[in-house]
Amino acid sequence: MNLATPIGQISRIGPIYAKRLQRMGIKEVKDLLFHFPHRYQDFSNIRAIRDVGLGEVVTILGKVLDIQNTRTPRKRMNITEAIVEDASGAIKAVWFNQPFLLQNLRPELHVVLSGKTSFANDSLFLSNPSYEVTRPEQELKHTGRIVPIYPETAGITSRWFRYVVKPLLPLAEKFPEYLPPEILQRQAIPRLSEALKHIHFPPTLEDAKLARKRIAFGELFLIQTVALKEKMKLRNTYAPEIHFDIELAKEFVTSLPFTLTDSQRASAWEILQDLEKPYPMNRLLEGDVGSGKTVVAAMAALQTIKANHQVAFMVPTEILAEQHFHNLTKLLDPWRVTVAILTHSAHRKTSQKVKYSAFKISKTRVAKETAEGKIDIIIGTHALIQDTVKFQNLGLIIIDEQHRFGVEQRAALCKTRTGNDEQKAIPHLLSMTATPIPRTLSLAIYGDLDLSLITHMPKGRKEIITKIIPPAGRSEAYQFIREQIQKGRQAFVICPLIEESEKLEAKAAIKEHETLQKKTFPDFKVALLHGKMKGKEKEKIMKEFQEKKADILVSTSVVEVGIDIENAAVMVIEGAERFGLAQLYQFRGRVGRGEHQSYCFLFTDSTAKTTRARLKALLTAKNSFELAEEDLKIRGPGDFIGSRQSDMPDLAMASLSDLEFVKAVRAEVEDVLSKDPELKTNPLLRAKYEAFRKEIHFE
Ligand code: ADP
Ligand code: MG
C-alpha cells in the first residue's frame, strides 16, 4: 500500500464508505491522511464517576448499562435516561427531546459524556451532556489520551475515521519533506511526516497545535512561493518604459478643481514611478468608495498617452463605463486626448475640436481606430475590449472595481500580440478596488501585487449620520425616509445577506419590495434589483434610478450598486448584523456623494450586546481598513478572497488572521527564492510548488 492507493483497496473500507468518501473528495490514501480532525477530546481529564460532585462540569468515560425514552405526562416532552458505569460507580444522564439518542447510545457501548451535574428526585445526574461513542478505557490507554474528533459529514462518524486512519499513519513517512531542514529548525516546527501523525493522534495537545502550525506553514509557504515567483516572472518580461514627466504631472494637478489628498498624491507617485520601469507594473490601488481613485488613474493614463502609448480602461458595467467616459473626457480635456467608449449599446469618441463633446461612431470604427492608434484611451466593459479590440501600442490597462484584479484580462489582451520585442512588450496593469484587503491577506495571497492605499477621504465631505435601529425604531425611521423623499431625495434599501443562496436572497428582496411598495410607501415609486436578474435588466434599473424614475431602490447585497447617485441620501441596511463591517462601510459609501446631508440606518433585530458593539465600530471608524482587519478576525477570510478561496487549503486560511505568522512564512520564502530562484537545489520543493500551482488553478 502507498499514498496513491485508491481507498477502495483498503480492507477496512467497504464500497458504501468508499462512495461516501469519494463524495467528500477523498479518493486515495493521501487524501485520507489530509482529512484532519477539527478538534480533540482530552481523556487525560476524565473523572472517576465516584468523585463527581454536584454542579460540576465533568467528563466521564463509561459503559452504557441501560437507556430508555419516557415522556413527561403534562408537558409531553421526551426524556432520554441512561445509566453509565465505570470501574468506580455509575451515574444517570438525562437528555430532553432527543429520542433518537436511543439509536446511537445502545447498552454495552462505551461513551464519553461531558456536561454539568444536577440534582433532582434524590439523585445526581448529568444534564444534557455532550456525548461520544468511544472505545473501552483499557484500549484508550495505549492509544494515547488525546482522541481526534473529525467533522461528521456524509454519514461518516468520527469513530469510523479513527478506526480507518490509525493503521494508515505509518504511511505518513512516505510524504517527502519539501521544506528545507533549516526552516524547520528556525521555525521550530516538526517534519511533515511527524506533523501528519500528530495531527491525527497527538501525544499531547501541544503536539497537536504544533502539527497544525506545521501544516499551515507548509501550505502558506507554497501559496506565497507561487505569488512571489509570479512576481519574479513578470520582472523578466518587458514593458514600455513611460517617462515620468513631472511638469505634466504638475500641470494635471493644477488643472483640477480641488487639491489632491496626501494619499492620492502618494499613490499617484508610486504608480508613475512603476510606469518608468522596463518591466510591467502589477499594482492594486485600494481606496474606499468616493476616496478619489479615478483622478489617480487619470493621471497615470495621461502620462502613458503623452508617452505615445494607449490606455485600456475596463469596467464591469455599462453605466460605470459611461460615468468614467464622462469624467475622463472632462479631466483630460486640456490635453486634447481622444477618448472612446465601447459597450454593447455605446460607441462614441470625443471630438478634438469641440470641448467636452463626443460623437457616435460605429463599433467597427472604434476597433479600427484603436488598432491604428488613433484612439488614446478606450473605456468599456471587460468582455468587449478583450474580444473585439486590438491595440497598436497598448501601454497601460486600468481595471476598475473587480475582484480578481485583472491578471487574466492582461493575459487575454496580450495573447494576440505578435511582432518585434517592442511590440510584444506587456502593458502595465493598474487594478482598482474599494474592497479593503487585510494586510495578512494581501501578503499571503496577493503577494504578487504591489499595493497603493488611499486611506483618507477628500476634505469637506459631509459625515454620513449613521444610526443603529432596533425593531421599535422602524416606523420612526420610515417616517424620516418619507420626509427625505418628499424633499426630493432618494433611498437605497439593502436586503439581508443570505449566505450561499443568491436565489433565496432574490426571493427575500422581491418580498421586501412588495411590502414597501404596497404597504409602507404606496405613494412613492419603489424599484427592485437582485442578482437573479440579467445584466441588461440590472443596468436598466440602475439607470432609471439614476434618472430619478424611482424614489427607493430595494436591492440584494449581491448587486454591486457601484455608481454615483448624487441625489441618494438614505441607505437602509436590513439585517445589518449579518454583514461584515467592511461591507457595511461600502454600502454606506453609496450615499453622501452629493451636496445633501446623508443618512445610514442599520436595521437589526439582534439584541445581543456583541452585535451592537460590533455595529458601533462603524460609527467611529475612520476608514474601512481597520474594519477589514476586524472582520477577518471575526468572520475569517471568506469575505475577501471570493473565487480564489475555494481552492485554498483550510489550515492556511485559518492562519490568515495571524500577521506575525504570515510574515514569518513570507520571510522564509523570500530567503529561499533569493538564493535559488528556480528552486534548482531543492527538487522536492520545486515539484511540490509546480503541483500546487496547478491545484490552486493559478494557470
Ligand atoms: P472612487 O474612489 O470611489 O472611484 P471617485 O474617483 O469616483 O471615487 O471620486 C469621487 C468623487 O470625489 C468625484 O466626484 C471626484 O471628482 C471627487 N474627488 C476626487 N478627489 C478629490 C479631492 N482630492 N478633493 C475633492 N474631491 C475629490
Ligand atoms: Mg470608482
Nearest protein Cα to ligand 1, atom 24: 458
User: Is residue 292 within 6 Å of ligand 1 at its C-beta?
Assistant: yes
Q: Most confidently modeled of 307-311, 573-577, 638-642?
A: 307-311
Nearest protein Cα to ligand 1, atom 17: 292
- pLDDT tens digit sequence for 382-396: 777 777 888 999 999
DSSP 462-503: PPPEEEEE-GGGHHHHHHHHHHHHHTT-EEEEEPPP-TT-HH
- pLDDT tens digit sequence for 319-368: 889 889 999 999 999 998 999 999 888 888 887 777 777 888 898 999 99
Confidence of residue 269 (pLDDT cuts 50, 70, 90): very high
422 pLDDT above the threshold of 60: no
Cα separations (Å) of 175 from 30, 105, 112, 519, 603?
9, 38, 34, 65, 52
482 pLDDT above the threshold of 80: yes
259 pLDDT above the threshold of 50: yes
Instruction: Determine the distance separating the centroid of ligand 2 and the alpha carbon of 290, expressed in angstroms.
Output: 7
Instruction: Determine the distance separating the centroid of ligand 2 and the alpha carbon of 143, expressed in angstroms.
Output: 60
User: Is residue 289 within 6 Å of ligand 1 at its C-beta?
Assistant: yes
- Number of the ligand closest to the Cα of 291: 1
User: Is residue 473 within 6 Å of ligand 1 at its C-beta?
Assistant: no
Query: For the ranges 24-28, 460-464, 488-492, which has the lowest average pLDDT?
Result: 460-464
Position 404 scores a pLDDT of 54
Confidence of residue 595 (pLDDT cuts 50, 70, 90): confident
CATH class of 465-622: alpha beta
Average pLDDT, stretch 202-231?
91
Contact, 398 vs 313, CB < 8 A?
A: yes
Position 409 scores a pLDDT of 65
User: Is residue 458 within 6 Å of ligand 1 at its C-beta?
Assistant: yes
Position 501 scores a pLDDT of 73
User: Is residue 287 within 6 Å of ligand 1 at its C-beta?
Assistant: yes
Position 646 scores a pLDDT of 47
Query: For the ranges 416-425, 564-573, 618-627, which has the lowest average pLDDT?
Result: 416-425
Q: Collect all residues with Cβ–Cβ distance below 8 Å to 397 and sequence separation of at least 6.
A: 311, 312, 314, 406, 409, 410, 413, 427, 428, 429, 430
Position 473 scores a pLDDT of 92
Position 89 scores a pLDDT of 92
Cα separations (Å) of 82 from 74, 103, 448, 507?
22, 12, 59, 45
- pLDDT tens digit sequence for 647-689: 566 777 777 778 889 899 999 999 999 999 999 999 999 999 9
Position 452 scores a pLDDT of 92
Instruction: Determine the distance separating the centroid of ligand 2 and the alpha carbon of 294, expressed in angstroms.
Output: 6
Which CATH number applies to 246-276+292-433: 3.40.50.300, 3.40.228.10, 3.30.70.3040, 3.40.50.620? 3.40.50.300
User: Is residue 291 within 6 Å of ligand 1 at its C-beta?
Assistant: yes
User: Is residue 290 within 6 Å of ligand 1 at its C-beta?
Assistant: yes
- pLDDT tens digit sequence for 539-575: 889 889 989 999 999 998 765 556 678 899 999 999 9
Count other C-beta atoms under 10 Å from residue 496's C-beta.
20
Q: How far apart are CA 628 and CA 642, in angstroms?
A: 14
Selected residue with higher pLDDT from 503 and 185:
185
User: Is residue 263 within 6 Å of ligand 1 at its C-beta?
Assistant: no
Amino acid at 565: I
User: Is residue 594 within 6 Å of ligand 1 at its C-beta?
Assistant: no
Closest among 145, 149, 130 to 45, alpha carbons compared: 145
Selected residue with higher pLDDT from 582 and 252:
252
Count other C-beta atoms under 10 Å from residue 692's C-beta.
19
Mutate to test the pocket of ligand 1, among 253, 258, 565 (most ligand atoms within 8 A of CB): 258
User: Is residue 435 within 6 Å of ligand 1 at its C-beta?
Assistant: no
Instruction: Determine the distance separating the centroid of ligand 1 and the alpha carbon of 293, expressed in angstroms.
Output: 7
Residue 334 φ/ψ region, left for φ over 0, alpha for ψ in the -120 to 50 degree band, beta for the rest: alpha
644 pLDDT above the threshold of 50: no
- Number of the ligand closest to the Cα of 400: 2
Closest among 559, 439, 427 to 494, alpha carbons compared: 559
DSSP 352-365: SSSTT-EEE--HHH
Q: How far apart are CA 107 and CA 114, in angstroms?
A: 18
Confidence of residue 283 (pLDDT cuts 50, 70, 90): very high
Average pLDDT, stretch 416-433?
71
Q: How far apart are CA 302 and CA 249, in angstroms?
A: 9
Tell me: domain 45-144, CATH 1.10.3720.10, correct? no
Q: Report residue 135: phi and psi, to 5°.
A: -105, 165
Selected residue with higher pLDDT from 503 and 548:
548
Confidence of residue 142 (pLDDT cuts 50, 70, 90): very low
Instruction: Tell me whether domains 45-144 and 465-622 share a fold.
Output: no
Per-chain mean pLDDT for the chain: 86
Q: Report residue 310: phi and psi, to 5°.
A: -95, 165
526 pLDDT above the threshold of 90: yes
Instruction: Determine the distance separating the centroid of ligand 1 and the alpha carbon of 492, expressed in angstroms.
Output: 21
Selected residue with higher pLDDT from 634 and 305:
305
Three cell numbers written together for 459: 476634505
Domain ranges of the chain: 1-41+156-174, 45-144, 246-276+292-433, 465-622
Closest among 319, 323, 289, 316 to 600, alpha carbons compared: 289
Q: Most confidently modeled of 139-143, 582-586, 632-636, 638-642?
A: 582-586
- Number of the ligand closest to the Cα of 459: 1
User: Is residue 394 within 6 Å of ligand 1 at its C-beta?
Assistant: no
Nearest ligand 1 atom to the CA of 323 is 7
Position 414 scores a pLDDT of 65
Three cell numbers written together for 657: 488572521
Contact, 245 vs 275, CB < 8 A?
A: no
Position 699 scores a pLDDT of 46
Instruction: Determine the distance separating the centroid of ligand 2 and the alpha carbon of 39, expressed in angstroms.
Output: 44
